[in-house]
Amino acid sequence: MRKQLFLSLPFVLGLAPAVHAASDSELVVVTATRTLQPVQVTGESVSVITARDLDLQQTVSLGDALQLTPAAIVVRNGGVGQNSTISLRGADAGQTLVLVDGVRINDPSTTDAQALLGDMMVNNLDRVEILRGPQSTLYGSSAIGGVVNMLTKLGGDAPFSARASAEGGSYDTYRLNGGVNGTYENVDYGGAVNYVASGGISAADSKLGNWETDAFYNVGSNANVRVHVLDTVSVDLRGYYTSARSSIDGYPPPNYAFSDTPEFAKNVFMGGYAGLNAVLLDGRLHNRLGFIGSHIQRRFFGIYDYGISAYVPDQNYYARSGSTRVEYQGIFDLDDNNQITFGAESERNTFNAQSLQYDVSPTLGKRRTTSGFGQWQTNLFDQLTLTAGVRYDGDSQFGGHTSLKFAGAWHVGDWGTVVHANYGDGFKAPSLYQLYSQYSNPLASDPATALKAETSHGWEAGVEQPFLDNRFTASATYFTRNTRQKIDFFTCPYIPPTPNLPGCDARPNGYYYNVGRAKAAGVEFALSGQLLEDVAASVNVTHMTAQDLTARTDLPRRPKITAGGSIFWTPMDRASLGVTVAHVGERFDLANENGVLAGTTQVNVLGSYPLNANFSVFGRVENLFADKAETTGGYGAMGRAAYVGLRAAL
């Protein structure tokens, strides 16, 4: 079985769009090892959200899809389309790497190089894999908390298939989606377009007297083509595009308190991939050479004109970032039980930003990172799978870094028990904004080199057990991660002079510096299975403590308890009725345990029904009990909402 999986590898970063389970009981993933592997042999904690899950849950945005995942904390500043972040196992937002088919979408121009999750709509996805724990051995910088990988549809059983959907509902929200995919002779293809518009809610909490709604629209598309030139050679071409506009709120004079303003933002993401894949040595050596480019542009509009005491819609800030990347990956099967994965990568990032409101000079920055990695995996006695990996990253700004990874999975006896454990390193290079903006560190002769990379070391151990004739599976995993050289922002006092605060003379508005140490530790519990032949249920609970070890306080917006669950009845094809529940416990809003955010529980009720062979209707009620607790202090939360729609498939 393992050899068959390796031979079917479609090479693209080991992250192929078309991935299927080897059997009903053997779920195959690609993100954990960058090769096709049954999840139970990886030794890693991986969650998979399938296309069927996305359809059943009628998921609109990536953030919505992640809310039911163990140890994933999604924070959205207001309604749909507003800035959203994800924290995996208590890591910072910029410490989670987000990919689309292996293409990085983290934005180098943001303060901490986080991904713009508010702009990521579910469009043409075959699955989403969430890999938890430090993963820098295979993925380099930003993979301290883990990796979220979105895999799009490619190919199919027929030359042509198409699907489309339309829905509308509360808050003047509308969504249109259409996609095609298929396989014709030697060509696999897939693609889709997506449009989402919403009147939204006020980003500034309406409970504080803010009633101006902040609208949002998003247009997105993606396209994949794989041409099998020969039996052993193929070419991949991919493209991604997203354009979004969202109204936002700010801090207007004279009080400068967060409240309604007519400001808005426009974001554009463009990405492309070209790859050449070749199989040599009678199928034992798989090679992939890939070229990746991406461009992200963020623009903000709305300047307060003191002459007329009102806002004018002029541009006040822009940020542009670009990434070019070339990478090689090889996979060599020594025999049926031993496999070596190796590769090299070189990436160049650029950054250009300017505040137009205050006539500040443009901020420019760039870096190049060159990396090499290797991984060995062996299977012993058809029971024990061991994995070891090493990576070296050479960065033009902060120097070199070496990452290690060790993992093991042991299938115990005939009971189906799987015991797994792993150790991993993670690191995150300082963002270009932290290095080159007006807030760069002044405490060195060269401010751009003053900051060091954040580093982490984490391990986990767990057990998975099927029972009741494999109808149910239960699992428990303990994890811990220590982070050093954490980058924080030093706020200088507003009242000069500051003789005892080095750096504040040069950076009176504050600066970034390495100071923090943090630790996250907890336990993830999960249970899933078939209550009846057509009724499936799942539940997960995470208990985690995430602390700033320097200040000895809890990290902000990291609840001790998170939980998710669902139950769905599917009496026939395309007919379903279900409930999902996502709970986030009480947590602090700010550092040093300031500001308490109440716990929140979101309950959604969802259903669909086929009208005929090609059409079906669907509908849902989100936030059934209208829980409007803030996820970020001062920002609003969506209330109860209802939506209905129509799906078509050919």
* pLDDT tens-place string over residues 366-422: 999 999 999 999 999 989 999 999 999 998 877 789 999 999 999 998 889 999 999
* Strands (E) located in 491-593: 511-532, 535-548, 553-554, 561-572, 575-584, 587-590
Residue span of the structural domain in which 37 resides: 2-649
Are 424 and 432 in contact by the 8 Å Cβ rule? The answer is no
* pLDDT tens-place string over residues 50-93: 999 999 999 999 999 899 999 999 999 988 889 899 999 999 98
**Residue listed under structure tokens 């060509």:** 187
**Residue listed under structure tokens 């030093």:** 490
* pLDDT tens-place string over residues 329-354: 999 999 999 999 999 999 999 999 99
Cis amide prior to 254 (ω within 30 degrees): yes
pLDDT, mean of residues 559-583 = 97
Q: Round the average pLDDT of the chain to a whole number and report it.
A: 90
- In terms of average pLDDT, the best of 199-213, 353-367, 444-458 is 199-213
Among 242-246, 422-426, 489-493, the range scoring the smallest mean pLDDT is 489-493
What gap in Å lies between CA 85 and CA 112, rounded to an integer?
11
* pLDDT tens-place string over residues 218-274: 999 999 999 999 999 999 999 999 999 999 999 999 889 999 999 999 999 999 999
Q: What's the 3-state SS for 129-184?
A: EEEECCCHHHHCCCCCCEEEEEEECCCCCCCCEEEEEEEEEHHHEEEEEEEEEEEE
Q: What pLDDT does 449 receive?
A: 53
* pLDDT tens-place string over residues 97-124: 999 988 899 998 888 999 888 888 999 9
**Cα dihedral angle (138, 139, 144, 146), rounded to 10 degrees?**
-90
pTM of the full structure: 0.93
* Helix (H) / strand (E) containing 53: helix 51-56
What gap in Å lies between CA 430 and CA 490, rounded to an integer?
15
Helix, strand and coil percent figures for the chain, each rounded to 5: 10, 60, 35
Q: What pLDDT does 91 receive?
A: 94
* pLDDT tens-place string over residues 319-333: 999 999 999 999 999
Helices (H) and strands (E) in the chain, counts: 5, 34
What gap in Å lies between CA 269 and CA 284, rounded to an integer?
37
Say which CATH number the domain at 106 has. Answer: 2.40.170.20
Number of domains in the chain: 1
